[in-house]
Structure 1
Amino acid sequence: MSHQQYQELLETLHECMTACNHCFDACLQEEDVKMMSECIRLDRECAEICSYLESAISRNSPFISELASVCATICATCGDECQKHQHEHCQKCAEACFRCAKACQEIAF
């Protein structure tokens, strides 16, 4: 598949990365940062894999399908964690993560 055929996925990955980075930063500002530690950790993992998959797609990596499978798992895990917290930034992040997990799963091996 060409880069253009992945355009919708690229946008979804970028949106998820941005939501995770925002959630990460907002969680660091919460009163009980220790309670948010798992959310913060998973936000970083998710943002990084989304960014990496976006880059892999742009260079037409032969591992896109495998990376998409890993990305789907990490996004779903991050979404599950964020969903546990009532903060608006966590809820928005969870939505972005679940959308991304679904999109990645569609091209995963």
Structure 2
Amino acid sequence: MKKNECIAACFACVVSCEACINDCIKNGNQECILLCRDCADICALCARLCARDSKFSDELCALCAKVCKACSEECSKHASHHDSCKACAEACEKCAEVCAQ
């Protein structure tokens, strides 16, 4: 795993998740909101642990990939009619791929 690539993907995912949360609050997509909150939190933590070369970063990255994948799957359900969900699904999928490495 490339540390800087992981950090960038995680922070991009945080930003997309937060935007998605805002839009989903307006649209009432409860499951999407819950997953995006979890995803944003774990991505932020993962980026921070990777940045400081924590001995736990590999384990956290594996969990982060799992959460990102779940979030991507949920957001994909709404991607055709919500741009923020589409962007979030893409960011989460990218982050899942990078973190899984």
TM range (shorter): over 0.9
Say if 2:76 is the partner of 1:83.
Answer: yes
Q: Which runs of 5+ in 1 are unaligned?
A: none
Q: Once the 2 structures are TM-superposed, how far is the Cα of residue 57 of structure 1 from its aligned partner? A: 1.1
The aligned counterpart of 1:9 is 6
Q: Which runs of 5+ in 2 are unaligned?
A: none
Moved over 3 A (4+): none
Match of 1:96 among 85, 91, 97: 91
**Number of aligned residue pairs:** 99
Q: Once the 2 structures are TM-superposed, how far is the Cα of residue 9 of structure 1 from its aligned partner? A: 1.3
The aligned counterpart of 1:21 is 18
What's the TM-score once normalised by structure 1's chain length? 0.87
* Cα distance in 1, alignment partners of residues 7 and 53 from structure 2: 12
What's the TM-score once normalised by structure 2's chain length? 0.93
Q: What do you get for the CA RMSD once the two structures are aligned?
A: 1.2
Instruction: Judge which range, 5-14 or 38-47, deviates more.
Output: 5-14
The aligned counterpart of 1:39 is 32
Seq. identity, %: 38
